[in-house]
Amino acid sequence: MKLLRLALRTLRREWHLPELRTLAASLLLAVVALGVVATLASRVEGGLVASAAELIGGDAGVSAPQALPQPYLDEARQRDLTVTRSAGFPSVAFAGERGQLLDVDATDAAWPLRGALELAAHGVTSAGHGPAPGTMYLDHRAMVALGLAVGDHVQLGGLDLAVAAELVSQPDGGQLVAMAPRALMNLADAQRAGLLGVGSRARHRLLVAGAPAAVRDWLAWAKAQALPQGAELITPAKTQQRMRNAFDRAGSFLRLTALLSALLAGVAIALAAQRYARRKTPEIALLRALGTARTRVFGLLLATLGALALPTLLLGVLVAWGLAEGAWQLAGAAFVHVPTALPLLPALGAAAMGLAVLAGFALPPLARLAEVPPVAVFRASMARRVRRVDVLYLVPALVAVALLWNQSGSAKLAIILAVSLSVVAVLAALLALLLLWFARRIAPGAHPALRLGLAALARRRTLSTVQATALSLGLVALLLLAVVAPALLEGWRRELPPDTPNWFVLNLQDDQRTDFTDRLEKLGAQQLNMLPLAVGKLTAINGTPVDQLHFADPGAARWADRQLRLSWTGTLPPSNKVVAGHWAGATPARAEVSVDTSWRDMFGLKIGDRMRFDVGEGSLEATVASVREVDWSSFRVNFFLLLDPAHAGSLPHTWLASFYLPHGHAQALAEVSRDYGNLSLVDVDALLDRVREIVDQVGGAVRWVLGFSLLAGALVLAAALATSAAERRHEAALLRTLGARRGQLRLAAACEFALLGLIAGLTAALGAFGAGWWLARGVFRLDDFVPPLGPLLGGALLAAVVIMLLGLAGTRKVTRTSPMRLLREG
Amino acid sequence: MSESSLPLLEARDVSKTVRGPEGTLDILADVTLAVHAGESFAIVGASGSGKTTLLGLLAGLDTPTTGSVRLDGHALEAIDEEARADLRRQLVGFVFQSFHLLPALTAEENVMLPLELEGRDDARARAREALTAVGLDTRRRHYPAQLSGGEQQRVAIARAFVHGPRVLFADEPTGNLDQRTGRHVADLLFALNRDHRTTLVLVTHDATLAARCARGVELMEGRIAAPAAIT
């Protein structure tokens, strides 16, 4: 208690010291940056889960080729979860002379549990639930294809059903490509009509919703069961893969920026603590001489630091909450339907991390300070270096790595940043030492100002090296954020240019291609791309029928049992990368197939393996010639299996077209599609817009966090310059006494800071270039990205100039130091 | 004008007043004195009597509130700080009680400093000569922390006379040294005064040291109490 009182008194006395204020400001900044980003990320994650639930129609569930056994329902009800059952299957509906294949969902009245089923009838749009017995809902395409209106009757599975409403939108599990027009009917009707009987191609679903903990508990129970054959769990994490990828990337960007801000703050804390320790050395020597035990001294230092840290942490948490709430209010449009409460825990976690940064970076100088021997009261030089404290200098490095690990959520991101920052630190230190060595050699022949500047750098060898290293680390973080991150974002944005295909057409026949293409072009469609699409089955691998093969991965068994989509092309599609083997090209000597990496892993395939496919009446055996890594978030049509056109061209197929149609032409397109009853049109504009929105919002958020980083960078700069301020003042006073002119001191300081800035700037530019290159490939999957070297070097030079100017501004006071100071000091 | 007729250093009716938390404080009042070239001159007095302030004014480190200080014919209060710095560089050398060597520089580099400020190319050679003159030629690559107090003060003396100043100001030059070392340092200062005809202005409260000077004054509460007891 006494110690705490003493610590509080010390803090009150010393609060005016710039290093303590820097320490507090750095800590505040670290907590705010980490807290805001963690809070926002958690909220976005909450929004994503809720949004995924809206798409699924429930919080979680199971899908299976047959109806789920009763225990799945009972277990859910025991946990107070609401339950709904549904089944999806293709079926042909008839209206008069017209027939149309439909994607039918048969649901009970409770469906959907989450999200909205939007229905339109007589010009009024309303939310609803599964259709009542004897009725069904049809989407616009189905209505057009069958020539129906609300109130008409339709035949399905031998039942006569009334069209009760037009189906506008439904929770659809985030399916990008629906094969056919959609319809909703009552589950009991479907059962009555025998549509779900043995041999049907129905996919049954059981969805649950309720308290998150109960849902998790039920999912855990379901996972522990031996799921029926072919059954799969439905979870939010599995849905919305494209959105998920966008959010994951967004999260990486934000965490990267917050992390760099926190590390910058750490560097500033380390510098400030170092300076504080040096200032306190005589006082501690005196305390020790007066009989204060080392442990008590250390306790006092820790208590002082704690007394400083606690209110700062509290303030940081409050500011982080406030800013996160503000940012959510400003930019929460992405989850406008999904209100999520302000999560309180992430900011508290950030406070804990801030405390770790403070302890990690401030501990070594303070521990050394506690080791000051009493004899140092006579002569500072008698304060011998205590080697056993040296090991503590590993603590900041460990804290930094732990923080990187914890925050990045990606080992790759953590490793890339840790390695890059370490390389930059070592490089900056080596460059600084090299320059200092060089300075000593060239100094005698140099211009007097440069000579004095070089001499000044050389004089404070250790400090200069520390300054150069700290400034380099600060700058590399700033360059990464200010130059590399926007360029990365731009690269990401370029992946989705304004004319990214926003419509897909399925089921186009050979004889419809020319006519349909002409009509699309008249509508203003661009980027039209057509690929053949064959539906077949995998029957054998290396001559062994697949039903005789055992696959460790259950996914493989499911695929082997399922209809596959096959395509062929002579050129490697964009967003595909060959990672093994060679791309077959248009006319290989024998039939070749290129498989996606997930297929290679599932089936244990290797180059040279033979795969047999049955398509329609024919079959084809192709050799695995290459393995492709496919970017499934690219909004392009991609296939797990790509055959060569020379051998696959004759397989029975339809065409799949993708194209970009400017907004406002959907109605015209719907009219065109009426003339081709067999076509299925899929609009992905909404999804595209959503991803673009995310990119923009991330851009905005990165700029926010960049603001913190700039502040942290300024703190590092101030702390780095402050480390040598005392020496600088003493030196200036001495040089003034010896007759140095102010101009001489200023010119020397300008040379000194320009050199320091150049070392830091150039090292940082190189570091940011390397880290950016690596990050783009390792984390953000932008393989063509080259960090902009010009702006990086420009930024580095600008930084050098800023360092010089700020250094000069900081030394203004120093050059005005009265030479009388020395006489007063004795 | 002959050297003997005009003093090299002159203070006339010099006063220094500073503003403190409890109002203004007169540190010096009506101080008048003159020191001729080649003389040795002591300023003695108790702690707080204004010795160091007077030394600062005479050396052009500060300006008087009223009165005039002339160094080699230049009225220091009439020129700006930059011009005073020029005068100091050309005419003045300093020795401090706490030596004030730069810890990151070797003995030789410390001595080179005034020459570097002048932009002289022979700084290193002349610094070596100066160090040899104070008997430290073998320690020129040592850093201050590796030197004893006496050795550090000898380096400071080498730095003070390396550029051939006309006046050497010494503020308690033996204050931090033991008696024997102090005597050696004082011998060195007086030898410079004698051999190079460098004017020596010495602030001290050591009566023995003051007695070695040709003339001097004693300050008491900022005023000249009496000419120091100089033989």
| pLDDT greater than 70 at residue A633 | no
| pLDDT greater than 80 at residue B62 | yes
Residue, of A676 and A449, whose pLDDT is higher: A676
Interface contact flag, A823 B55, Cβ < 8 Å: yes
How far does the CA of residue B211 sit from the closest CA of chain A (Å)? 22
A-B contacts (CB, under 8 Å): 84
Could you give phi then psi for residue A48, rounded to 5 degrees? -65, -45
Instruction: Tell me if B149 is assigned to some domain.
Output: yes
**pTM summary value:** 0.65
CB of A131 within 8 A of CB of A192? no
Report the percent of chain A where pLDDT is more than 70.
Answer: 83
- Quote the number of domains for chain B: 1
Report the percent of chain B where pLDDT is more than 90.
Answer: 39
The tokens describing B38, both together, are 């080649």
| pLDDT greater than 80 at residue A491 | no
Residue A604: the pLDDT is 87
Instruction: Tell me if B102 is assigned to some domain.
Output: yes
Closest chain B residue by Cα to residue A820 = B61
Residues contacting residue A152 through CB under 8 Å, at least 6 positions apart: A95, A162, A163
How high is the mean pLDDT of chain A? 79
pLDDT in tens, A237-278: 666 555 666 666 667 767 777 777 777 778 888 888 888 888
Test the A interface: residue of B116, B120, B174 with most A CBs within 10 Å: B116
Rounded distance between C-alpha atoms, residue B85 and residue A517, angstroms: 87
Residue B1: the pLDDT is 40
Strands B23-35 and B9-20, sheet pairing: antiparallel
Residue A380: the pLDDT is 57
Residue A617: the pLDDT is 79
DSSP-derived 3-state class of residue A104:
strand
**What is the mean pLDDT of the segment spanning A584-598?**
83
Residue A176: which pLDDT band, with cuts at 50, 70 and 90?
Answer: very low
| pLDDT greater than 60 at residue A339 | no
Residue range(s) defining the domain that contains residue B135 = 38-61+86-227
Residue B67: the pLDDT is 94
> Can you tell me the ipTM of this complex?
0.83
HSE-up of residue A746 (Cα within 13 Å, Cβ side):
12
Q: A-side interface with B, Cβ within 8 Å?
A: 381, 444, 448, 451-452, 455, 458-461, 730-731, 734-744, 818-820, 822-826
| pLDDT greater than 70 at residue A408 | no
**What is the mean pLDDT of the segment spanning B105-127?**
85
Residue A399: which pLDDT band, with cuts at 50, 70 and 90?
Answer: confident
Closest chain B residue by Cα to residue A748 = B117
Residue A140: which pLDDT band, with cuts at 50, 70 and 90?
Answer: confident
Closest CB from A444, A459, A741 relative to B104: A459
Instruction: Tell me if B33 is assigned to some domain.
Output: no
**What is the mean pLDDT of the segment spanning B161-176?**
89
**What is the mean pLDDT of the segment spanning A580-589?**
80
| Choice among A535-539, A782-786, B184-188 with the minimum mean pLDDT | A782-786
Q: B-side interface with A, Cβ within 8 Å?
A: 52, 55-56, 61-62, 81-82, 85-90, 92, 94, 96-98, 100, 102, 104-105, 109, 113-114, 116-117, 119, 121, 123-124, 145, 159, 171-172, 175
* Buried b or exposed e, range A107-123, using 16+ CB within 10 angstroms: beebbbbbbbbbbbbee
Q: In which element (H, E) is residue A504 found?
A: strand A503-508
Residue A556: which pLDDT band, with cuts at 50, 70 and 90?
Answer: confident
Neighbours of B85 (CB within 10 A): 26
What is the residue extent of each domain of chain A? 1-57+244-409, 88-189, 424-498+684-826, 526-660
Alpha helices by DSSP H, listed for A480-541, are 485-495, 513-523
How far does the CA of residue A278 sit from the closest CA of chain B (Å)? 15
Test the B interface: residue of A447, A727, A823, A825 with most B CBs within 10 Å: A823
Residue A45: the pLDDT is 67
Looking at chain A, how many residues does it have?
Answer: 826
Q: What is the DSSP string of A583-632?
A: ---S--SS-EEEEEHHHHHHHT--TT-EEEEEETTEEEEEEEEEEEEE-T
* CATH code of the domain in which B160 resides: 3.40.50.300
CB of A681 within 8 A of CB of A504? yes
DSSP-derived 3-state class of residue A148:
coil
Residue B167: which pLDDT band, with cuts at 50, 70 and 90?
Answer: very high
Interface contact flag, A823 B92, Cβ < 8 Å: no
Closest CB from A731, A738, A743 relative to B88: A738
Chain A residues whose beta carbon lies within 8 Å of the beta carbon of residue B109:
455
pLDDT in tens, A39-84: 877 776 676 667 667 777 888 888 887 888 888 989 999 999 999 9
CB of A103 within 8 A of CB of A80? no
Residue A78: the pLDDT is 92
- Region for B30 from its dihedrals, namely left if φ exceeds 0, alpha if ψ lies in -120 to 50, beta otherwise: left
**What is the mean pLDDT of the segment spanning A82-95?**
88
Range with top average pLDDT, A35-44, A394-403, A717-726, B134-143: B134-143
CB of A252 within 8 A of CB of A32? no
How far does the CA of residue A740 sit from the closest CA of chain B (Å)? 6
Distances (CA, A) of A625 to A539, A542, A595, A596: 18, 14, 8, 11
Residue A410: the pLDDT is 65
pLDDT in tens, A192-237: 888 887 767 788 889 999 888 888 899 889 888 877 777 778 877 6
Rounded distance between C-alpha atoms, residue A578 and residue A597, angstroms: 9
Number of helices (H) and strands (E) in chain A: give both, helices first: 24, 22
Nearest to A673 by CA among A507, A456, A466, A485: A507
Q: Give chain B's radius of gyration (CA, Å).
A: 17
Rounded distance between C-alpha atoms, residue A593 and residue A599, angstroms: 12
